[in-house]
Amino acid sequence: MLYDIVIIGSGVAGLSAGIYAGRANKSVLIIEDNNIGGTTVTLPNINNYPGFTNISGVELVSNMYKQCLNFDVKFDFLRIDSIDFDRNIIRTDNNIIEYKTLIIASGSTYKRLNIDTEEKFKLHGLSYCAVCDGNLYKNKKIIVFTKNNSAINSVKYLKNLTNDIIVMDISNGFAFDGIECYHNVLPIEIIGDTNVKGIKAMIGISEKVLNCDGIFVDLGKVTDIDLYKDNLQNESGFLITDENLHTNIPNVFVAGDIRKKSLRQIVTACSDGAIASTEAIKYLSKNIF
């Protein structure tokens, strides 16, 4: 089957792209290999998406999904084996999908500490995103995990909200100016009942328990760009675009967290989706198929 626009990923970037493409009367397929809604659907409370004092990820994503369906956007749940960028073909287990334009919106995930208690305290005092959750810790005591200087921007952002910050560096490299900083830290256990109360860690050769109200982990992000990396320009795992989200291939665009950019948030992912779709629509108008 041939589509005007195929979108890989049904996070908020992909859904926004779908809404804009569907409203322009294009034939659109969104391919997802997991759940609709990507990371956003897992968030119980979003309070920085403009227009909503508080909305759950499920509600936001459900609304966007309905908008897509209203504009006749199709969804398919499958695993992509390969993409032939010369012939505009996506290969799956038992199918071939053809596209005129392609929007890649397959997101990224945060690197984790990989300790047992991590899952339990996620959203209960353990965060991976200073811009998302920093505001919850105004004037509170927080610990930030970094690997070398990976958390430098998070620390700068959090300094707007509290002076009570300790940095724990799992490597041995970086000094954060004017901030208490431990190096060679091996986290052992997050301490707390329902909410984070502290962390137990090896610092050098001694075990320590430090109390805090919240823990931020900023060890960087991981993307899966295996499908694209031989054809699309990329850097440190992120795909490179120009400001209108064009890649080095004229009919391929990128939106959302998988893109090299400075702020990875729902609002910027949605904005990317809208821009990428509009550029794909322009491409279709210029190139009569």
Ligand X SMILES: Cc1cc2nc3c(=O)[nH]c(=O)nc-3n(C[C@H](O)[C@H](O)[C@H](O)COP(=O)(O)OP(=O)(O)OC[C@H]3O[C@@H](n4cnc5c(N)ncnc54)[C@H](O)[C@@H]3O)c2cc1C
Pick between residue 107 and residue 192 the one whose CB is nearest to ligand X. 107
Contact call for residues 100 and 4 (beta carbons, < 8 A): yes
Q: Which of residues 170-229 bind ligand X (CB under 6 A)?
A: 224, 227
Binding piece for ligand X, criterion CB under 6 A, among 111-119, 191-199, 204-212, 259-267: 259-267
- Nearest partner of 235 among 225, 227, 245, judged by Cα: 225
Q: Among residues 6, 40, 99, 142, which is the contact residue for ligand X, using CB under 6 A?
A: 40
Beta bridge partners of 180: 166
Q: How far apart are the first and last CA of the chain?
A: 15
| In the complex, least distance from residue 268 CB atom to ligand X, rounded to whole angstroms | 7
Verify binding: residue 68, ligand X, rule CB under 6 A: no
Pick between residue 35 and residue 211 the one whose CB is nearest to ligand X. 35
Binding piece for ligand X, criterion CB under 6 A, among 11-19, 146-154, 196-204, 232-240: 11-19
Using CA atoms, how far apart are residues 12 and 30, in angstroms rounded to an integer? 12
Verify binding: residue 18, ligand X, rule CB under 6 A: no
Verify binding: residue 28, ligand X, rule CB under 6 A: no
3-state secondary structure at position 147: coil
Q: Among residues 2, 55, 58, 80, which is the contact residue for ligand X, using CB under 6 A?
A: 80
Upper half-sphere CA count for residue 78 (Cβ side, 13 Å): 18
Binding piece for ligand X, criterion CB under 6 A, among 41-49, 136-144, 188-196, 230-238: 41-49
Q: Where are the beta strands (DSSP E) in 204-270?
A: 206-211, 214-218, 221-222, 234-235, 238-239, 252-254
Q: Among residues 62, 153, 248, 265, which is the contact residue for ligand X, using CB under 6 A?
A: 265
- Nearest partner of 191 among 210, 169, 204, judged by Cα: 210
Number of residues that bind ligand X (CB under 6 A): 35
Q: Among residues 22, 134, 187, 256, which is the contact residue for ligand X, using CB under 6 A?
A: 256
Long-range pairs of 23-27 with CB within 8 A, sequence gap ≥ 24? 23/71, 24/277, 24/281, 26/280, 26/281, 26/284, 27/2, 27/3, 27/74
Q: Note the residues at the interface with ligand X (CB under 6 A).
A: 8-14, 31-34, 38-40, 43, 46, 48-49, 80, 105-107, 110, 128-129, 132, 224, 227, 256-257, 264-267, 269
